[in-house]
Amino acid sequence: SISLAMEAVRNIYAGIASGKGLMFKCSVDSQIGPALLVDPIRLRQILNNLVSNALKFTISGSIEINAELVARGEHDERVRFYVRDTGIGISERDRARLFQPFAQAEGDRRISGTGLGLAISQRLATMMGGSIEMMSEPGKGTTVILELLLPIGDPQMLVKADSVSTRDWLSR
């Protein structure tokens, strides 16, 4: 489920956030349909990358991950996942480079990593027919938005789904 996928990501990072004195919030819009077809492994990988970055660059304040219903069609729903932080923020110049493999923002050299997370996340989002957008301002935090158009599945299939096929289903 979307809730379970987001909660799994939150649980991975809750201890780190708590250790840094950060509030960590997670919410799922109750209007999101009960049976959406998606690859939960890719979704978790994207959210893991985004939350990991948020934690890396947030010294105080909070991190939140939210899923919101944007639009519902006859056969699909448009869902936006937000990862917001109150971290150091990223300049416009650096934002333009960050989706390139091995690129990192300049500035605080104490923070390191491969710089692959955003490039991989963007590639996964594209493979899922979605997109990633980043809004940020130095000193004021960052918001990364993952938007996916998810086909609506048959809710009755959720009951019949076995452990192998549940990878293909996401429900609220």
The span from the CA of 65 to the CA of 143, in Å, is: 10
CA distances from 89 to 117, 147, 164 (A): 16, 21, 40
Q: What is the H or E stretch that residue 150 is in?
A: strand 142-151
Q: 2: pLDDT confidence band, cut at 50, 70 and 90? A: confident
Q: Contact at 8 Å (CB) between 69 and 79?
A: yes
pLDDT by residue (tens digit) across 89-132? 988 877 767 666 554 555 444 444 445 678 888 899 999 999 99
27 in helix, strand or coil?
Answer: strand
Query: What pLDDT was estimated at residue 166?
Result: 41
Q: Contact at 8 Å (CB) between 64 and 145?
A: no
- The 10 Å CB-count burial string (b at 16+, else e) for 16-49 is ebeeeebebebebeeebbebbebebebbbbbbbb
pLDDT by residue (tens digit) across 122-170? 899 999 999 999 999 899 999 999 999 999 988 776 654 444 444 444 4
pTM more than 0.85: no
Mean pLDDT within 9-13: 93
Burial label for 12, CB within 10 Å (0-12, 13-18, 19+), is middle
Q: Contact at 8 Å (CB) between 83 and 54?
A: yes
Q: What is the DSSP string of 77-122?
A: EEEEEEEEE-S----HHHHHHTTSTT---SS-TT----S-HHHHHH
Task: For residue 148, give the amino acid letter.
Answer: L
Q: Is the pLDDT of residue 19 over 90?
A: yes
pLDDT by residue (tens digit) across 51-103? 999 999 999 999 999 999 999 999 999 999 999 999 999 888 777 676 665 54
Query: What pLDDT was estimated at residue 65?
Result: 96
| CA angle, residues 110, 116, 118, in degrees to nearest 5 | 100
